Amino acid sequence: MSHPQFPHLFSPLEIRGKEIKNRVFVPGHNTALSEGGRVGDAMIAYHEARMRGGVGMIMTEVHCVHPTYMPQGRAWASNDECLPGLKRLGQKGRDYGVTIIGQVFHPGRVAAASIDGTKMTAYAPSEVPDEMYKTVPTPLTADLIREIVTAHGDGAARMAEAGLDGVEIISSMGYLASQFINPRLNRRTDEYGGNFENRMRFVREVAGDIRAKIGDDMILGLRISADEMDEEGLTIEESREACAALDADGVLDYLNIVLGSTATYTGWQHIIPHMQYDAGYTGQKSGELKSAVKRLPVMIAGRINQPQIAEEIVASGQADMVGIVRGHIADPEFVNKARDGRVDDIRACIACDQACIGHRLRGFPISCIQHPETGRELDYYAKPKAETARHVLVVGGGPGGMKAAAVAAERGHRVILLERSPQLGGQAAIAQLLPGRAEFGGIVTNLTRECEIHGVDIRKSTEATRALIEAEAPDVLIMATGATEQRPDLEGMDQAHVVGAWDVARGTANVGGKVVVYDWHANWIGLGVAEKLARDGCSVRLCVNGPMPGEHLPMMVRDGWMGQLHKFGVEVIPYPRLYGCDDTSVFMQHVTSGVPIICDDVETLVLAAPHKREAALWEELYGGDVELHIIGDALAPRTVEEAVLEGLQVAFKV
């Protein structure tokens, strides 16, 4: 039985004679968990967690099908070595009653990966460079086009042999099939270019070849961007025309809609939209596209992180199914919790993009800053009960401390969490105060709820002292005391008006109209305070100790934020090292040339300087009788992701 709050979300849907048990699916996404391009134990465990969580359908990540694109780190279906892993995945789907769809793929000109570190030859309909990856593709010959068409069908046939329920053609996000459809990218004069029918020929031939090889029983769908959200990309009008034609052909069984393109900086923003985009905003575009088709069910994904949003999209007719990737990365039990009416227990994705796509873009398995069990299912998904319940005292109510407390309590320990301030959250409570970052505070809400569910005794406004700890007499003491801002001891600091970034975020700093922000971190802090001050009407110079602001953020978050700073007229100065200041100037030097960089006419210097770990209590207690652990910034100042991961890891040790 489903919860009455979500009647549409939990109604079944039939596609080509197969009943999908609810309207929630996990769209295909690269997990970086493949083993030599094949499905192995880690990927099976990843998908099984979402199957167990109640989802109705799962798409595999893209499987490459042709030698012109077979890079490291991608899954592939170009020979029979893919069969054992795909067979295991298909069987898991049957065990859980989950429909499994395999994706067949070629990126065309946006060939971003590599085989051996060299830049691959990119193949495309025409010789049109892409903005994002700086490829200049070689035009495909007609013979090579037909070879790639056949390779799609052969890859799909292997998926059929493996026992998957269906196959999905990738024509989304500026990849090869969409490049053929797009008249700005397809400048061919042969049978694959020119008029609309010719530009549709490639995707139709792919669909026809696949259908001929998989038979009439398997589902065949197509993923397409309703709008590639950039002047060069497919428009909503062009996608509507293409989808209407494919609908009329009668070969496909569904359309899977997304927004954006990997070929441009703007387009990338909408593939994995971060928290500055409204949740559920993609539904409007899917509704516009759905109105152009008469037969095919339409699915939509992108920035859907709550079941209420998903229910509204289906109920309003904007889509027939709703895809949730990051929501299932943050909480594999998303569907079960919604079905049971436990909405407040859902660990909602906060769209920070830091450990999901942020990891994948660096070649590491995807995870989640809130839920580091993701991508590590084999090691951490199951929480073994402790053989002996122990008294665990956690000092520090930031995300790391909360995670340690929640998991230790879940394993059966008696846990007390001490936090000296009136609220939990640590630096996350500061981060949420910056423009467009309010949703970051969701990590505090979610981890607080985990602590409550598992019975952690939370004591706020309580300073941990040696006397208090000795009175509690814990078996285990976990220090998660975090870090604090510090002011470097540089010449002139006593003459200038200097304030810390945290106080700017809190709104407690007295800041003049002409500001220099010195950003040592090159992450969200400098970007956030610069935007806040610019919005407040200040003239802002952002001096970042690196090649660019947001150097250590996922590229789509950084790129979007840089657009905001540009609109507000923030001047960016890269590569400075702070040297000193006086009452009107800030003195720096270029980190490589050593040449002075001087900012004059400055009223306030805002410091986002290296943090200092707060470990005095740990040092005082180190070497005593109690079992003592230290995690997060108290161990070494880093980010929230490391703190939460170490909270999970230490909770497994006690």
For residue 47, the domain's CATH number is 3.20.20.70
- Tens digit of each residue's pLDDT (9 = 90 or more) over 370-427: 999 999 999 999 999 999 999 999 999 999 999 999 999 999 999 999 999 999 999 9
- Does 356 map to a domain? no
Q: Is 276 helix (H, G, I), strand (E, B) or coil?
A: coil
Rounded CA-CA distance 605/603 in Å is 7
Report the distance separating Cα 631 and Cα 530, nearest Å. 30
* Burial of 165 from C-beta contacts in 10 A (0-12 / 13-18 / 19+): buried
Q: Which residue's entry shows tokens 């873009």? A: 361
Quick one: DSSP state of residue 491?
A: B
- Residue at 642 is within a domain: yes
| Same-domain status, 309 and 251 | yes
Bridge partners of 203? none
The reply to whether 7 falls in a domain is no
Kindly state the greatest CA–CA separation across the chain.
83
pLDDT > 70 in the chain, percent: 100
pLDDT at 1 over 60: no
Task: From residue 411, give the alpha-carbon distance in Å to each of 347, 392, 459, 594, 645.
Answer: 19, 11, 20, 54, 16
Question: How confident is the model over 581-586, as a mean pLDDT?
Answer: 97
Does residue 213 sit in the same domain as residue 155? Answer: yes
Q: What is the pLDDT of residues 426-436, one digit of tens each?
A: 999 999 999 99
Residues 392 and 373 in one domain: no
DSSP state of 475: S
**CB 282, CB 303: distance < 8 Å:** yes
Is residue 115 scored above 90 in pLDDT?
Answer: no
Q: Where are the beta strands (DSSP E) in 106-251?
A: 123-124, 138-139, 166-171, 219-227
* Reported pTM: 0.97
**Tokens 């065990």 appear where?**
95
Question: At 233, is the pLDDT very low, low, confident or very high (cuts 50, 70, 90)?
Answer: very high
Q: Does 492 fall in a domain?
A: no
d(CA 176, CA 445): 42
Say which residue the tokens 């895809």 belong to.
323
Tens digit of each residue's pLDDT (9 = 90 or more) over 552-573? 999 999 999 999 999 999 999 9
CA-to-CA distance for 519 and 504, rounded, in angstroms? 13
- Residue 374 tokens, joined: 């993701």
Helix (H) or strand (E) holding 259: strand 254-259
Say yes or no: 103 and 171 in one domain: yes
Q: How many residues does the chain have?
A: 654
Q: What is the pLDDT of residues 194-207, one digit of tens each?
A: 999 999 999 999 99
First to last CA, the chain: 38
Residue 271 lies in a domain: yes
Same domain for 454 and 504? Answer: no
Mean per-residue pLDDT, 212-219: 97
Residues 416, 438: one domain?
yes
The answer to whether residue 318 sits within a structural domain is yes
pLDDT band for position 22 (cuts 50, 70, 90): very high
Tell whether the torsion through CA atoms of 155, 156, 159 and 161 is positive or negative: negative
Q: Are residues 617 and 605 in the same domain?
A: no
Percent with pLDDT over 90 in the chain: 96
Question: Does 29 reside within a domain?
Answer: yes
Better-predicted residue by pLDDT, 73 or 350: 350
Asked whether residue 371 falls in the same domain as residue 388, the answer is no
Query: What DSSP character marks residue 456?
Result: -
Give the Cα separation of 239 and 248 in Å (integer).
Answer: 14
Name the strands in the sheet holding 586-590, side by side, starting at the edge strand that comes first in the sequence.
576-581, 586-590, 596-599
Give the CATH number for residue 625: 3.40.50.720
**CA 98 remoteness from chain centre:** 24
Bridge pairing between strands 586-590 and 576-581: antiparallel
Task: Give the mean pLDDT of 280-303.
Answer: 94
| Distance, CA of 441 to CA of 190 (rounded, Å) | 55
Among the candidates 333, 352, 379, a domain finishes at 379
CATH number for the domain including 560? 3.50.50.60
Please indicate, yes or no, whether residues 410 and 325 belong to a single structural domain of this protein: no
d(CA 167, CA 594): 57
pLDDT band at 113 (very low <50, low <70, confident <90, very high): confident
Q: Could you tell me the two tokens for 18?
A: 């197969």
428 and 285 in one domain? no
Secondary structure in 3-state letters for 14-35: EECCEEECCCEEECCCCCCCCE
Distance CA(98)–CA(604), nearest Å, equals: 58
Same-domain check for residues 238 and 339? yes
Q: How many structural domains is the chain composed of? A: 3
List pLDDT tens digits, range 482-536.
999 999 999 999 999 999 999 999 999 999 999 999 999 999 999 999 999 999 9
For the chain, what is the mean pLDDT? Answer: 96
- Say if residue 2's pLDDT is above 80: no
Amino acid at 641: E
Return left, alpha or beta for 488; rule: phi > 0 is left, psi -120 to 50 is alpha, else beta.
Answer: beta
Q: What are the C-alpha distances in Å from 267 to residues 130, 131, 234, 264, 621?
A: 12, 10, 10, 5, 52
Residue 517 maps to a domain = yes
Q: How far apart are CA 398 and CA 481, in angstroms?
A: 8
Q: What's the rounded Cα separation, in Å, for the pair 581 and 564?
A: 28
**Same domain (yes/no): 72, 163:** yes
The parent domain of residue 514 ranges over 498-610
H helices of 463-608, in order, are 466-472, 501-506, 524-535, 555-567
**Residue 13, token pair as written in the block:** 């849907």
* Residues β-bridged to residue 63: 75, 104
Tell me what pLDDT residue 112 has.
83
Q: Given a cut of 60, is residue 610 above it in pLDDT? A: yes
Interatomic CA distance for residues 642 and 635, integer angstroms: 10
